[in-house]
Amino acid sequence: MRREIYREIEVPEGVEVSIEGTSVSVKGREGEQVRKFILGEVEMGMNEGKIRIGSQKATKKEKKIINTVVAHLDNMLKGAQEKFEYQLKICSSHFPMTAEIKGNEAIIKNFLGEKTPRISKIIPGVEVEINGNTIVVKSSNKELAGQVAANFETATKIRGRDLRVFQDGIYITNKSGRGI
């Protein structure tokens, strides 16, 4: 059944939004993000400080597209005002593990006593701070910050050992917006 569905997002003060076709750019005090959406039959436009997304004859497919685009735009608007922050903790019970940043890579040394260091990629546009056993990942783009945090976790993933005994690694302890 087709029906008219429109959603509006209010643009906060201090944030500039420009829409050109299917490309949206959001600029704020924390940075600028540009994203291109695949809209299909969905219309997107600006009027009076609000972003309007919708369709005259929307099906389930268009409704899914509308809700997905609204979620991405919400994250872009929040990121333009305040950076997303992920906190990770270095846990080492068997061997003292250290982590350091060199360029666009994080080097994890002495993980489970291994001689070769493990390397985690840091995506451009993401800030990483290491303070003792705490790692803080910040970015205005939520997806990039989450990916760098996930890169730290996967770099220290244990394979071939009993996970109940070997609990060493780097784990996310706090995501932006909620604690774990």
User: What pLDDT, in 10s, does the model give residues 54-66?
Assistant: 999 889 999 999 9
The answer to whether residues 90 and 69 belong to one domain is no
The answer on 103 and 57 residing in a single domain is no
Would the pLDDT of 162 be above 90? no
Which pair of tokens denotes residue 101?
Answer: 């940043």
How many structural domains compose the chain? 2
Mean pLDDT of 41-62: 91
Choose one of 81, 111, 136: the last residue of a domain: 81
Tell me, yes or no, whether 33 and 68 share the same domain: yes
- What pLDDT, on the 0 to 100 scale, is given for residue 179? 56
Same domain, 123 and 93: yes
* Phi, psi values for residue 106, rounded to 5°: -110, 130
Of the candidates 55, 81, 107, which is a domain's last residue?
Answer: 81
pLDDT in tens, 115-157: 999 999 999 999 999 999 999 999 999 999 999 999 999 999 8
Task: Name the β-bridge partners of 128.
Answer: 137
- Residue 125: CATH number of its domain: 3.90.930.12
Instruction: Using the 3D structure, point to which of 64, 81, 98 is the last residue of a domain.
Output: 81
Residue 75: domain span: 3-81
| Phi, psi (rounded to 5 degrees) for 51 | -95, 130
Tell me: do 61 and 128 sit in the same domain.
Answer: no
pLDDT tens column, 81-98: 999 999 999 998 878 999
Q: In sequence order, what are the residues at sequence separation of 6 or more whose Cβ sits closer than 8 angstroms to the Cβ of residue 52?
A: 6, 7, 8, 43, 44, 45, 46
Q: Which amino acid is at 89?
A: K
In this structure, the answer to whether residues 105 and 168 fall within a common structural domain is yes
